Protein backbone atom coordinates (compact mmCIF):
# COMPACT_ATOMS: atom_id res chain seq x y z
CA UNK A 1 0.00 0.00 0.00
CA UNK A 2 1.58 3.22 -1.08
CA UNK A 3 -0.89 5.71 0.32
CA UNK A 4 0.73 7.93 2.91
CA UNK A 5 -0.94 9.25 6.04
CA UNK A 6 -1.49 12.60 4.32
CA UNK A 7 -3.07 10.78 1.38
CA UNK A 8 -5.50 9.03 3.68
CA UNK A 9 -6.31 12.23 5.51
CA UNK A 10 -7.01 13.91 2.15
CA UNK A 11 -9.29 11.03 1.12
CA UNK A 12 -11.18 11.20 4.39
CA UNK A 13 -11.57 14.96 4.12
CA UNK A 14 -12.78 14.66 0.53
CA UNK A 15 -15.39 12.08 1.49
CA UNK A 16 -16.63 14.25 4.35
CA UNK A 17 -16.80 17.30 2.10
CA UNK A 18 -18.61 15.46 -0.69
CA UNK A 19 -21.12 13.82 1.67
CA UNK A 20 -21.99 17.01 3.51
CA UNK A 21 -22.20 18.93 0.24
CA UNK A 22 -24.51 16.34 -1.29
CA UNK A 23 -26.87 16.39 1.68
CA UNK A 24 -26.98 20.18 1.69
CA UNK A 25 -27.48 20.26 -2.08
CA UNK A 26 -30.43 17.88 -1.90
CA UNK A 27 -32.02 20.10 0.76
CA UNK A 28 -31.41 23.32 -1.17
CA UNK A 29 -31.71 21.91 -4.68
CA UNK A 30 -35.07 20.17 -4.21
CA UNK A 31 -37.16 23.32 -3.63
CA UNK A 32 -35.23 25.19 -6.33
CA UNK A 33 -35.74 22.35 -8.83
CA UNK A 34 -39.43 22.04 -7.87
CA UNK A 35 -39.95 25.73 -8.40
CA UNK A 36 -38.11 25.69 -11.74
CA UNK A 37 -40.12 22.67 -12.89
CA UNK A 38 -43.55 24.08 -12.00
CA UNK A 39 -43.38 27.86 -12.24
CA UNK A 40 -44.77 29.95 -15.05
CA UNK A 41 -42.99 33.00 -13.69
CA UNK A 42 -40.85 35.11 -15.98
CA UNK A 43 -38.07 34.73 -13.40
CA UNK A 44 -37.67 31.10 -14.44
CA UNK A 45 -35.15 31.90 -17.17
CA UNK A 46 -33.10 34.12 -14.88
CA UNK A 47 -32.94 31.65 -11.99
CA UNK A 48 -32.29 28.76 -14.38
CA UNK A 49 -29.35 30.66 -15.89
CA UNK A 50 -27.89 31.51 -12.46
CA UNK A 51 -28.15 27.86 -11.38
CA UNK A 52 -26.39 26.74 -14.59
CA UNK A 53 -23.53 29.27 -14.31
CA UNK A 54 -21.12 26.88 -12.52
CA UNK A 55 -21.38 24.58 -15.55
CA UNK A 56 -19.56 27.06 -17.76
CA UNK A 57 -17.54 29.27 -15.39
CA UNK A 58 -13.92 28.31 -14.76
CA UNK A 59 -13.77 27.10 -11.14
CA UNK A 60 -11.08 29.69 -10.47
CA UNK A 61 -13.60 32.42 -11.26
CA UNK A 62 -16.13 30.98 -8.81
CA UNK A 63 -13.40 30.54 -6.23
CA UNK A 64 -12.14 34.09 -6.74
CA UNK A 65 -15.54 35.72 -6.22
CA UNK A 66 -16.30 33.51 -3.24
CA UNK A 67 -12.95 34.48 -1.75
CA UNK A 68 -13.78 38.15 -2.21
CA UNK A 69 -17.37 38.00 -0.87
CA UNK A 70 -16.52 35.72 2.06
CA UNK A 71 -13.28 37.55 2.89
CA UNK A 72 -13.06 40.12 5.72
CA UNK A 73 -14.10 42.96 3.39
CA UNK A 74 -16.82 41.13 1.50
CA UNK A 75 -20.52 41.27 2.44
CA UNK A 76 -20.69 37.63 3.50
CA UNK A 77 -17.44 37.97 5.42
CA UNK A 78 -18.77 41.00 7.30
CA UNK A 79 -21.88 39.05 8.16
CA UNK A 80 -20.06 35.95 9.40
CA UNK A 81 -17.72 38.11 11.47
CA UNK A 82 -20.62 40.02 12.97
CA UNK A 83 -22.10 36.64 13.94
CA UNK A 84 -18.84 35.75 15.63
CA UNK A 85 -17.98 33.00 13.15
CA UNK A 86 -14.86 34.59 11.72
CA UNK A 87 -14.32 34.38 7.98
CA UNK A 88 -14.99 31.31 5.87
CA UNK A 89 -12.07 31.17 3.43
CA UNK A 90 -9.36 28.66 4.36
CA UNK A 91 -11.80 26.68 6.53
CA UNK A 92 -13.70 23.46 5.92
CA UNK A 93 -16.99 25.38 6.19
CA UNK A 94 -15.78 27.68 3.44
CA UNK A 95 -15.08 24.67 1.24
CA UNK A 96 -18.57 23.34 1.85
CA UNK A 97 -20.11 26.66 0.78
CA UNK A 98 -17.92 26.72 -2.32
CA UNK A 99 -18.73 23.11 -3.20
CA UNK A 100 -22.46 23.65 -2.81
CA UNK A 101 -22.35 26.48 -5.33
CA UNK A 102 -19.95 24.66 -7.63
CA UNK A 103 -22.04 21.46 -7.77
CA UNK A 104 -25.47 23.11 -7.68
CA UNK A 105 -26.43 22.51 -11.35
CA UNK A 106 -25.44 18.86 -11.10
CA UNK A 107 -28.13 18.34 -8.49
CA UNK A 108 -30.78 20.86 -9.56
CA UNK A 109 -30.94 19.87 -13.21
CA UNK A 110 -31.60 16.11 -12.78
CA UNK A 111 -34.19 16.94 -10.11
CA UNK A 112 -35.84 19.53 -12.32
CA UNK A 113 -35.99 17.04 -15.21
CA UNK A 114 -37.47 14.39 -12.92
CA UNK A 115 -40.13 16.76 -11.58
CA UNK A 116 -41.00 17.96 -15.08
CA UNK A 117 -41.34 14.36 -16.28
CA UNK A 118 -44.02 13.70 -13.65
CA UNK A 119 -46.33 16.26 -15.25
CA UNK A 120 -49.45 17.80 -13.75
CA UNK A 121 -51.69 14.76 -13.88
CA UNK A 122 -50.52 12.71 -10.85
CA UNK A 123 -50.62 15.84 -8.71
CA UNK A 124 -54.13 16.71 -9.92
CA UNK A 125 -55.22 13.16 -9.19
CA UNK A 126 -53.82 13.49 -5.67
CA UNK A 127 -55.68 16.79 -5.22
CA UNK A 128 -58.97 15.13 -6.20
CA UNK A 129 -58.17 12.48 -3.58
CA UNK A 130 -58.03 15.18 -0.87
CA UNK A 131 -54.26 15.59 -0.67
CA UNK A 132 -53.11 19.14 0.08
CA UNK A 133 -50.04 20.73 -1.58
CA UNK A 134 -47.40 19.44 0.92
CA UNK A 135 -49.05 16.05 1.07
CA UNK A 136 -48.98 15.83 -2.74
CA UNK A 137 -45.32 16.77 -2.81
CA UNK A 138 -44.21 14.17 -0.27
CA UNK A 139 -46.50 11.29 -1.25
CA UNK A 140 -46.58 11.68 -5.02
CA UNK A 141 -43.88 13.99 -6.41
CA UNK A 142 -40.96 12.74 -4.30
CA UNK A 143 -41.56 9.00 -4.84
CA UNK A 144 -42.12 9.48 -8.57
CA UNK A 145 -38.95 11.58 -8.86
CA UNK A 146 -36.82 8.99 -7.09
CA UNK A 147 -34.65 8.12 -10.11
CA UNK A 148 -33.88 11.83 -10.41
CA UNK A 149 -32.75 11.90 -6.77
CA UNK A 150 -30.43 8.95 -7.36
CA UNK A 151 -28.88 10.65 -10.37
CA UNK A 152 -28.62 14.00 -8.57
CA UNK A 153 -26.94 12.48 -5.51
CA UNK A 154 -24.40 10.54 -7.52
CA UNK A 155 -23.52 13.47 -9.78
CA UNK A 156 -23.42 15.96 -6.89
CA UNK A 157 -21.16 13.69 -4.85
CA UNK A 158 -18.84 12.74 -7.71
CA UNK A 159 -18.55 16.27 -9.01
CA UNK A 160 -17.62 17.57 -5.55
CA UNK A 161 -14.96 14.88 -5.21
CA UNK A 162 -13.46 16.06 -8.48
CA UNK A 163 -13.40 19.75 -7.62
CA UNK A 164 -10.00 21.48 -7.75
CA UNK A 165 -10.03 25.13 -8.72
CA UNK A 166 -12.55 26.30 -6.15
CA UNK A 167 -10.75 24.39 -3.40
CA UNK A 168 -7.40 25.86 -4.31
CA UNK A 169 -8.71 29.44 -4.49
CA UNK A 170 -10.86 29.23 -1.41
CA UNK A 171 -9.26 26.62 0.81
CA UNK A 172 -5.61 26.98 0.16
CA UNK A 173 -3.84 23.74 0.89
CA UNK A 174 -4.05 23.12 4.64
CA UNK A 175 -3.52 19.44 5.50
CA UNK A 176 -6.44 17.90 7.38
CA UNK A 177 -8.59 21.01 6.95
CA UNK A 178 -8.80 21.95 3.31
CA UNK A 179 -6.46 19.62 1.47
CA UNK A 180 -8.69 17.36 -0.63
CA UNK A 181 -7.56 14.53 -2.90
CA UNK A 182 -7.41 16.64 -6.03
CA UNK A 183 -5.08 19.16 -4.30
CA UNK A 184 -3.08 16.36 -2.74
CA UNK A 185 -2.36 15.08 -6.26
CA UNK A 186 -1.25 18.53 -7.39
CA UNK A 187 1.67 18.82 -4.95
CA UNK A 188 3.72 15.76 -6.01
CA UNK A 189 3.04 16.56 -9.67
CA UNK A 190 4.50 20.01 -9.21
CA UNK A 191 7.47 18.41 -7.50
CA UNK A 192 7.82 16.00 -10.45
CA UNK A 193 7.13 13.01 -8.16
CA UNK A 194 4.86 11.25 -10.64
CA UNK A 195 5.06 7.82 -9.01
CA UNK A 196 3.42 9.20 -5.88
CA UNK A 197 0.76 11.05 -7.86
CA UNK A 198 -0.17 7.88 -9.72
CA UNK A 199 -1.74 6.19 -6.74
CA UNK A 200 -4.25 8.91 -5.99
CA UNK A 201 -4.81 9.90 -9.61
CA UNK A 202 -5.42 6.29 -10.59
CA UNK A 203 -7.77 5.89 -7.65
CA UNK A 204 -9.77 8.94 -8.73
CA UNK A 205 -9.97 7.65 -12.29
CA UNK A 206 -11.27 4.31 -11.10
CA UNK A 207 -13.73 5.95 -8.70
CA UNK A 208 -15.15 8.25 -11.39
CA UNK A 209 -15.46 5.41 -13.88
CA UNK A 210 -17.26 3.13 -11.42
CA UNK A 211 -19.68 5.89 -10.45
CA UNK A 212 -20.56 6.70 -14.03
CA UNK A 213 -20.79 3.04 -14.97
CA UNK A 214 -23.27 2.48 -12.14
CA UNK A 215 -25.26 5.52 -13.21
CA UNK A 216 -25.48 4.66 -16.89
CA UNK A 217 -26.20 0.97 -16.31
CA UNK A 218 -29.08 1.78 -13.97
CA UNK A 219 -30.45 4.20 -16.57
CA UNK A 220 -30.41 1.59 -19.28
CA UNK A 221 -32.31 -0.85 -17.10
CA UNK A 222 -35.07 1.65 -16.42
CA UNK A 223 -35.43 3.61 -19.62
CA UNK A 224 -37.02 7.00 -19.43
CA UNK A 225 -36.64 7.41 -15.70
CA UNK A 226 -33.24 9.16 -15.60
Partner 1 sequence: MPSRDSRPVQSASAAPAGIRARFGVGYPGFALDVDLQLPARGVTALLGHSGSGKTTCLRCIAGLERSAQGRIEVNGELWQDSAAGVFVPTHKRALGYVFQEASLFPHLSVRRNLEYGMRRAGAGRVSLTQAADLLGIGHLLERMPDKLSGGERQRVGVVRALLTSPRLLLMDEPLAALDLRLKQEILPYLERLHDELDIPVIYVSHSPEEVARLADHVVLLDQGTVAAQGPLADTLARLDLPAVFSDDAGAVVESVVAAHDERYHLTRLDFTGGSVLVARRPEPIGHRLRFRVNARDVSLATERLEGSTILNLLPVTVIGVGAADTPAHVLVRVDMQGTPLLARITRRSCEQLGIAAGRPMWAQIKSVALLG
Per CB under 8 A, 140 contacts partner 1: yes
Per CB under 8 A, 84 contacts partner 1: no
Residue span binding partner 1 (CB under 8 A) among the ranges 36-44, 68-76, 98-106, 139-147: 139-147
CA distance 166 to 67: 9
Q: Residues 144-183: x/- map of binding to partner 1 (CB under 8 A)? A: x-x-------------------------------------
- Tally Cβ neighbours within 10 Å of residue 163: 26
Q: Are 92 and 85 in contact (CB under 8 A)?
A: no
Which residue in 19, 41, 60, 139 binds partner 1 (CB under 8 A)? 139
Q: Counting Cβ atoms within 10 Å, is residue 131 exposed (0-12), middle (13-18) or buried (19+)?
A: middle
Q: Quote the least distance from Cβ 129 to partner 1, whole Å.
A: 3
Residue span binding partner 1 (CB under 8 A) among the ranges 19-27, 116-124, 168-176, 209-217: 116-124
Phi, psi of 78 (to 5 degrees): -60, -45
Segment 189-218, which members bind partner 1 (CB under 8 A)? Answer: none
Q: Quote the least distance from Cβ 135 to partner 1, whole Å.
A: 7
Q: Are 125 and 64 in contact (CB under 8 A)?
A: no
Per CB under 8 A, 40 contacts partner 1: no
CA distance 103 to 10: 20
Nearest to 177 by CA among 1, 12, 2, 5: 12
Contacts with partner 1 by CB under 8 A lie at 121-122, 124-132, 135-136, 139-140, 143-144, 146
Amino acid sequence: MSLSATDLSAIWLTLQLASLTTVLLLLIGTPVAWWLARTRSRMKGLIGAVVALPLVLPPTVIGFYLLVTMGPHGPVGQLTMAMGLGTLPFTFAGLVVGSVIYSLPFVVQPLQNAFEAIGDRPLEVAATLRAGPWDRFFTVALPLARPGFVTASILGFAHTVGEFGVVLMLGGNIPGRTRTVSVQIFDPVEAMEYAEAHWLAGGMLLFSFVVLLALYSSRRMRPGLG
